[in-house]
Amino acid sequence: MIDMRDFMIIKDPEVAKLFADECRRSILHNLRHFEMTPCQLAKLLNKNVSSIMHHLNALEKAGLVEQTKSVIKGNLVERYYRATAKHFIISYTLSEGLVPGSEDIAQWSREMCRKAVKGLEAFGFKLSEEKIREMLDLIERYSHLEQAAREEIISQCTSPIPIEHSSLKLLLSFLTDLSLYRNQEFLDVLNKCWKILEG
């Protein structure tokens, strides 16, 4: 069995679409931490085993999970599964709709940005409809530039990362911010955002 890699960048839109299903996300979340059987997953997620097997087959075919071992118990064979990576990253190329078949993912990304802009009001920022539209375009560009920079940082990783999740998250944020600090387009987006929010 090969060691689980730290990251897998998802560039295939058909594979990325598997993450739209909440049950599949829950399966992957659990299999990133534990080797589990379909029966264990079914009990944990309050689903029937045939439904879990359907999802596992789709995830395995996509290379997101793998069988790790089989244990014979009487007449039954229990198969154990695990995720193939600790972290799955949907490529920025899909969220920008740059790959044929990624239009749904790009639409989901824009909707996420729309909700973020809507949330500005909770922080005391009241914007006109025109400024909301302008801010949506800026937030969407901010998101794509940030995703592209993070993906570039992750692609530079050449060996296993010997730190836990919180420290890894901080390290990735730090390296991503350093990269973006040198990106003039990103700085321009931030300045335009600030001018809108300053009113």
Q: What is the pLDDT of residues 102-158, one digit of tens each?
A: 888 888 889 999 999 999 999 999 999 999 999 999 999 999 999 999 999 999 988
Neighbour tally for 36: CB within 10 Å: 22
- Do the beta carbons of residue 156 and residue 176 sit within 8 Å? no
Residue where a domain stops, chosen among 55, 87, 119: 87
Q: 75 and 151: one domain?
A: no
Residue 3 in this model has a pLDDT that exceeds 70: no
Q: 107 and 190: one domain?
A: yes
Q: How many domains does the chain have?
A: 2
The whole-model pTM stands at 0.78
CA 194 to chain centre: 27
* pLDDT digits 0-9 by tens, 47-95: 999 999 999 999 999 999 999 999 988 888 899 999 999 999 988 888 7
Q: 130 and 163: one domain?
A: yes
Picking from 20, 11, 9, the residue whose alpha carbon sits closest to that of residue 104 is: 20
- Do the beta carbons of residue 68 and residue 81 sit within 8 Å? yes
- Do the beta carbons of residue 109 and residue 85 sit within 8 Å? no
Picking from 24, 30, 25, the residue whose alpha carbon sits closest to that of residue 53 is: 24
Residue where a domain stops, chosen among 65, 87, 109: 87
Name the residue type at position 102.
Answer: S
Q: 39 and 110: one domain?
A: no
Q: Which domain holds residue 161?
A: 92-198
CATH number of 18's domain: 1.10.10.10
Q: 104 and 130: one domain?
A: yes
Residue where a domain stops, chosen among 59, 87, 115: 87
